[in-house]
């Protein structure tokens, strides 16, 4: 593709991608209030988070298939309509079972945003611009988990739990209207194309070494973060004596460093070149191996958690956009299917590493950093698969 044909604001695409992580992160500070008001334990309320992740993982491959079959605009508007409707119903849900069901519908609806945004960027931008656009998406999605809990923690005590779901409904409706007016109608595919999407699309994607290499790399990068996310607060409080406030500062700082990495990639085109991307991948390998070796040698310490965390987040901010773009560009004509499947695999791997991190911490707190280092090594292995004898997706 020689020139940009994108008519949709990149900020709008970043916003529709970010609504999904906003919807899960805003619930974090609500757990104590829900536990008191609904007389359920904190462990039972975790289903409100896990069902959301399951909804995303299940729906996104389906949405990717449908967008390749009938176009992106209709699917996006329909999905956001489901999100708004379920958010409104959550204001009136009075049982945990009902809330879990509606949270699943929320995730199913909002999951289309990530798929459509990635597909539109791949379809309408040349590689160098697409990579910078993916960097903007990554930065926006990285900033969301920082601001969403603050918003939820402010609204819920002041205006009640219903105000949080009302805010989600308003945000969803606002983005729905913006998408309705801003995203052009798709050119309808011919009947032969529609009939062959299910065969050619997914089979081409599933057979692509580049797709699985980039998707695996993306999943392992998510795994590094989610390994610590599952038990991070407990790790910092029990092992290092940090208060929840100080942990929040550490975790928020790491998220901002992630955003910084993506922001630098969006502004400095040289960082997207194969040379610098491979250098960043080697840096991730060094972080992973050194963390593992030092933990085995010296044992667990605050420095051996914070320094690898911050280093890996900066590198992830630079590398994640390339893995995202590489996955959707592996089989260009089926970018929607690739976007949905890669996002689903990434979410699934994140969930697995979240569970693995929690299990490792219960066995031995130091093991959580070994899982972290293992995920980093897994990223490098998949990066090699994606780039060995495969043309670089960027530039």
Q: Could you report the per-residue pLDDT of 307-322, keeping only the tens digit for each? A: 999 999 999 999 998 9
Q: Are 322 and 394 in contact (CB under 8 A)?
A: yes
Taking all residues of the chain, what is their mean pLDDT, rounded to a whole number?
83
Please report, for residues 31, 96, 100, 153, 165, the alpha-carbon distance to residue 43 in angstroms, rounded to integers and kept in the order given.
10, 12, 13, 20, 21
pLDDT at site 187? 52
Please report, for residues 61, 69, 128, 363, 366, the alpha-carbon distance to residue 196 in angstroms, rounded to integers and kept in the order given.
17, 9, 30, 49, 50
Establish whether domains 8-188 and 200-395 are of one fold: yes
Write phi, then psi, for 92 (nearest 5 degrees).
-115, 0
Higher per-residue pLDDT: 48 or 370 = 370
Q: Are 21 and 144 in contact (CB under 8 A)?
A: yes
CATH topology of domain 200-395: Growth Hormone; Chain: A; (1.20.1250)
Q: Choose from 2-11, 186-195, 354-363 the range with maximum mean pLDDT.
A: 354-363
Maximal CA-CA distance, the chain: 64
Q: What number is the average pLDDT over the span 98-118?
A: 90
Q: Is the pLDDT of residue 2 over 50?
A: no
pLDDT at site 188? 45
**Can you say whether the dihedral through the CA atoms of 363, 369, 373, 376 is positive or negative?**
positive
Q: Are 278 and 306 in contact (CB under 8 A)?
A: no
Enter the pTM of the model: 0.79
* Domain extent listing, the chain: 8-188, 200-395
pLDDT tier at 390, thresholds 50, 70, 90: low
Q: What number is the average pLDDT over the span 213-226?
A: 91
Higher per-residue pLDDT: 189 or 88 = 88
Q: What number is the average pLDDT over the span 105-114?
A: 91
The whole-angstrom separation of Cα 158 and Cα 164 is 11
Instruction: For 200-230, give one letter per residue: b (16+ CB within 10 A) or e.
Output: bbbebbeebebbbbbbbbbbbbbbbbbbbbb
Q: Is the pLDDT of residue 393 over 60?
A: no
Q: Are 107 and 52 in contact (CB under 8 A)?
A: yes
Determine the 3-state secondary structure of 208 from DSSP: coil
Percent of the chain clearing pLDDT 90 (strictly above): 30
Q: Is the pLDDT of residue 245 over 80?
A: no
Classify domain 8-188 by CATH architecture.
Up-down Bundle (1.20)
What is the per-residue pLDDT across 281-301, written as a single tens digit (0 to 9) for each? Answer: 999 999 999 999 999 999 889
Our measurement of the distance from residue 5's CA atom to the centroid of its chain's CA atoms, rounded to an integer in Å, reads 26
Query: What DSSP string describes 220-243?
Result: HHHHHHHHHHHHHHHIIIIIH---
Q: Is the pLDDT of residue 394 over 70?
A: no
Lowest average pLDDT, out of 111-120, 191-200, 210-219, goes to 191-200
């Amino acid at each position: 593709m020689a020139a940009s044909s994108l008519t949709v604001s990149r900020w709008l695409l970043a916003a529709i991608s970010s609504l999904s992580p906003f919807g899960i992160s805003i619930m974090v500070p609500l757990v104590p209030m829900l536990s008191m008001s609904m007389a359920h334990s904190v462990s039972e309320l975790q289903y409100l988070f896990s069902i959301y992740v399951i909804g995303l993982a299940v729906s996104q491959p389906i949405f990717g298939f449908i967008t390749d079959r009938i176009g992106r605009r209709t699917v996006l508007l329909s999905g956001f309509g489901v999100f708004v409707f379920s958010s409104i119903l959550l204001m009136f849900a009075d049982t945990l079972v009902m809330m879990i069901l509606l949270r699943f519908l929320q995730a199913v609806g909002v999951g289309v945003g990530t798929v459509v945004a990635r597909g539109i960027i791949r379809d309408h931008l040349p590689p160098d611009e697409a990579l910078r656009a993916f960097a903007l998406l990554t930065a926006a999605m990285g900033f969301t988990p920082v601001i969403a809990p603050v918003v939820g923690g402010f609204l819920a005590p002041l205006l009640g739990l219903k105000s949080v779901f009302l805010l989600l409904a308003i945000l969803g409706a606002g983005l729905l209207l913006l998408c309705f007016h801003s995203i052009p109608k798709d050119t309808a595919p011919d009947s032969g194309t529609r009939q062959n999407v299910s065969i050619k699309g997914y089979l081409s994607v599933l057979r692509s070494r580049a797709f699985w290499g980039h998707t695996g790399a993306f999943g392992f990068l998510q795994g590094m973060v989610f390994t610590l996310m599952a038990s991070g607060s407990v790790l910092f409080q029990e092992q290092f004596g940090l208060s929840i406030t100080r942990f929040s500062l550490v975790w928020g700082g790491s998220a901002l460093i992630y955003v910084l990495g993506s922001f630098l990639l969006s502004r400095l085109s040289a960082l997207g070149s194969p040379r610098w991307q491979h250098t960043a991948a080697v840096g991730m390998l060094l972080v992973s191996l050194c963390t593992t070796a030092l933990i085995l040698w010296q044992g667990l310490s605050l420095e051996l958690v914070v320094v690898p965390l911050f280093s890996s987040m900066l590198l992830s901010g630079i590398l994640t956009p390339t893995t995202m773009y590489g996955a959707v560009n592996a089989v260009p004509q089926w970018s929607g299917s690739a976007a949905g499947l890669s996002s689903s695999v990434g979410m699934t791997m994140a969930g697995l590493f979240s569970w693995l991190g929690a299990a490792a911490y219960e066995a031995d707190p130091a093991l959580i950093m070994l899982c972290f280092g293992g995920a980093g090594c897994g990223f490098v292995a998949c990066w090699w698969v994606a780039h060995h004898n495969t043309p670089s997706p960027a530039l």
